Amino acid sequence: MNELSRMDEMSLSGAALRGAPWRAAATAGGAVAATSMFLGWILPGPADLTWALCTGITLFALVAGIGAISRPDRGDRVTQQARRWALEHPWRFALAPGLGAAALMVPVQLVIDGEGVFGAAWDALLGGALVLLLTGILTRSMRGRSRR
C-alpha cells in the first residue's frame, strides 16, 4: 500500500473541507466573538478584542471542520472519498482546520494585541493546537459514519 505524502494528505483535507458550511461557521464565529466582546463590556474588567476575535476564529474553524465531514455521503465522488478519508484519519484531517485557525490568529495577535512576532506566533500556535485537538477528538467520535 502506498503511503501518502504530507502534501497529498493536505490536499485530501482541503477536498474534504470544500463543502464545509462556511456561512454557518462564519455566523457562529461572529456571534461568539460579538457575545464575548459584549460580555467584556458589561462584566467587571476590561473588554478584550483579541480574546473575542480568537474565540470566534476557534469556533469558526471547528464548525467548518466538523460540518465538512458530518455528511460524508454529500457532494461529488471526490469530495465523498476525501470525507471518508478524513473520517478514517481524524488526526491528519484535523491539521487543516488547526493550521487555518493559527494562520487567522497570527494577524489578530500582531495587529490588534500588538505582540511581537514570536509572541503572536506562539499564541496562534496554541490556539491552532486547541482547534486541532478538538477537531481530532470530534472527528474520531464520528468515525462510524465512514462505514455506512
pTM of this prediction?
A: 0.88
- Would residue 49 count as lying in a domain? yes
Closest CA to 83 of 16, 11, 135: 16
What is the domain count for the chain? 1
- Contact indicator for 72, 19 with CB cutoff of 8 Å: no
The rounded average pLDDT for each run of 10 residues, N- to C-terminus, in the chain (148 residues) is 77 86 95 93 86 95 93 82 89 94 94 87 94 94 69
pLDDT at 5: 82
- Would residue 73 count as lying in a domain? yes
- Would residue 59 count as lying in a domain? yes
pLDDT at 91: 93
Q: Which domain holds residue 98?
A: 6-147
pLDDT at 63: 96
pLDDT at 1: 47
- Would residue 38 count as lying in a domain? yes
- Would residue 1 count as lying in a domain? no
| Per-residue CA distances from 77 to 63, 81, 84, 87 (Å) | 23, 6, 11, 15
- Would residue 33 count as lying in a domain? yes
- Would residue 118 count as lying in a domain? yes
Query: What is the Cα–Cα distance from 128 to 108, expressed in whole angstroms?
Result: 13
